[in-house]
Copies of this chain bind each other. A is one copy, B any other.
Amino acid sequence: MSVAKSIDTTDIANEMAMIGNRARDAVKIIGQAMPDQKNKALLESAGALRLKTPELLAANEEDMGVAEKRQVAPSLLDRLKLDRNRIDAMALGLEQIARLTDPIGEVMKSWKRPNGLNISRVRVPLGVIGIIYESRPNVTADAGGLCIKSGNGAILRGGSESYYSSAAIMQCLKIGLKNAGLPEDIVQLVPTTDRAAVSEMLTMSEYIDIIVPRGGKSLIKKVQEESRIPVLAHLEGLCHTYIDGDADPDMAKEIVLNAKMRRTGICGATETLLIDCDVAPDFLPTICSALAEAGCELRGDKATQALDNRVRIATEEDWRTEYLEPVLSIRQVDGVLGAIDHINMYGSNHTDSIVTKNKAKAEQFLNGVDSAIVMHNTSTQFADGGEFGMGAEMGISTGRLHARGPVGVEQLTTFKYVVRGAGQVRP
């Protein structure tokens, strides 16, 4: 399997423009392609991933070798690593995307005007999507697959550490497209690890309709600052669980344990526990013990420390921190209004949950918290496109425009109005 070449840095602007032109040509085809043809491309891509597993492992070994020499962090090495299971998971992901309902052409709404004009709002692809990501090679398959399904072109720029792995995965997507009779340029990988290519991408508004960054805070920040193209960004998941005075104590304990500890590294993990000060003395000792036994470090306000001496005093910075680790900050608040105020001040508009038996207080919380996802009596770890039944996702948008929450195939579309008349003119 051949791997895309590296290019001369002086030619980056030209090369990127050529990529852009090829993408524009390709979207004219994929935007009008029939569901069966797009699904065939996805299934053939999955087949290619399985068939080419030895080549994928070899390309990944090349990346791993370079990364190990550079002594990168073990967590990065783990994200970078491909094995048979992970390759199979990518193939399964593409097969799952193929089974999703095709969003394109859906008549979202249709109505007739008194003058007889028929107006429909019809779902169409966004166009060309630029995806900038770090070192998870599987993003190449996931994001590429979501773009194919939603009739979009994709220009992918992966992290330099995963370059060979991503290029090998990209070849499998191109095999799938080709076998389905679609242009290979529907998905393209930027063939250089030069950072100048990212800056170039972010100004290519004539070729790229939207930028989706996937990665850490500093990548997202750079993209948001530099981009002249609209950005669909997932900033961070500073999620809260609030235990109300009317909560069931056992349910509260189970939910908090799951929300914090099931997986601490995902964006839907709870980072701060808020609790009604009225029930804190009753509820917190059991909850803190359960968390500590599960290996969670506890930080909290003074009132919480007074209940459990394992609790370190939290600083102002703690309320603003997405730990992504087995650390939890705990604060006692004055009922549901205190919880809403804390969340709207310190949260990241991602996912926040209330535990209570009191329906009125639940509704107050669900209305008052200004986040993409608000929950009642369940774990913030459910903040996930798959768990929502939307299939694979590009990420979870914390912005307010276009897409909010999980970004699946439907969120990668826009619409047009189709007006059908019989010769009507405007008076």
Give me the interface of A with B, judged by CB distance under 8 Å.
32, 111, 113, 117, 119, 124, 126-127, 209-210, 230, 248, 251, 254-255, 257-259, 262, 353, 362, 366-368, 370-379, 381-382, 387-389, 399-402, 404-405, 414-426
Instruction: Tell me the interface secondary structure of chain A in the complex.
Output: mixed
Chain B residues in 8 Å Cβ range of A370? 124, 416
- Which residues of chain B come closer than 8 Å to A423, judged between CB atoms? 248, 251, 254-255, 377-378
Give bound CA distance, A377 to B423, whole Å: 5
By CB atoms of chain B within 10 A, which of A119, A254, A373 has the most? Answer: A119
B400 near A209 with CB under 8 A, answer: yes
Given A230-B401, A400-B414: A376 and B419 interface contact (C-beta under 8 Å): yes
Partner of A420, one of B210, B258, B376, B381: B376
Q: List 30 A-B contacts (CB under 8 A).
A: A32-B367, A113-B387, A113-B389, A117-B378, A117-B387, A119-B389, A127-B400, A230-B230, A254-B425, A255-B425, A257-B425, A258-B425, A262-B425, A262-B426, A373-B416, A374-B418, A375-B420, A376-B419, A376-B421, A377-B421, A378-B419, A379-B424, A381-B426, A382-B421, A382-B424, A387-B426, A388-B417, A401-B414, A404-B417, A405-B416
Do A405 and B417 touch across chains, with their CB atoms under 8 A apart?
A: yes
CA distance A367 to B120 in the complex (A): 13
A262-B425, A400-B209, A401-B210 as given contacts; A416 in contact with B126, CB under 8 Å: no
> Is there an interface contact between B388 and A421, defined as CB atoms closer than 8 Å?
no
Does the CB pair B416–A404 fall under 8 Å? yes
In the complex the two chains form, is B373's CB within 8 Å of A417's CB?
A: yes
In chain B, what residue has the closest Cβ to A114?
Answer: B389
Given contact pairs A372-B416, A374-B419, enumerate 18 new A-B contacts (beta carbons under 8 Å). A113-B388, A113-B389, A117-B382, A126-B401, A209-B401, A251-B423, A255-B423, A257-B425, A258-B425, A262-B425, A373-B417, A375-B420, A375-B421, A377-B422, A379-B424, A379-B425, A387-B426, A400-B414
- Select A419's contact among B117, B373, B419, B424, beta carbons within 8 Å: B373
Cα distance A426–B383 when bound, in Å? 10
Residues from chain B with a CB closer than 8 A to the CB of A387 are 113, 117, 426
State whether A377 touches B420 (Cβ < 8 A). Answer: yes
**Bound-complex Cα distance A382 to B382 (A):** 45
**Which chain B residues lie closer than 8 Å to A417 at the CB level?**
372-374, 388, 404-405
Residues of B contacting A378 with CB < 8 Å? 117, 419-425
A255 to B426 Cα, complex, angstroms: 9
The residue in A117, A230, A366, A374 that gathers the most chain B C-beta atoms within 10 A of its C-beta is A117
CB closest residue in chain B, given A209: B400
A172 to B126, CA, bound (A): 41
**CA of A281 to CA of B358, assembled, Å:** 76
Report the nearest B residue to A231, measured CB to CB: B230
Q: How far is the CB of A193 from chain B (nearest CB, A)?
A: 29
Give Cα A420–Cα B357 distance, bound, in whole angstroms: 12
B374→A416 contact, CB < 8 A: yes
Which B residue sits closest to A109, measured CB to CB? B410
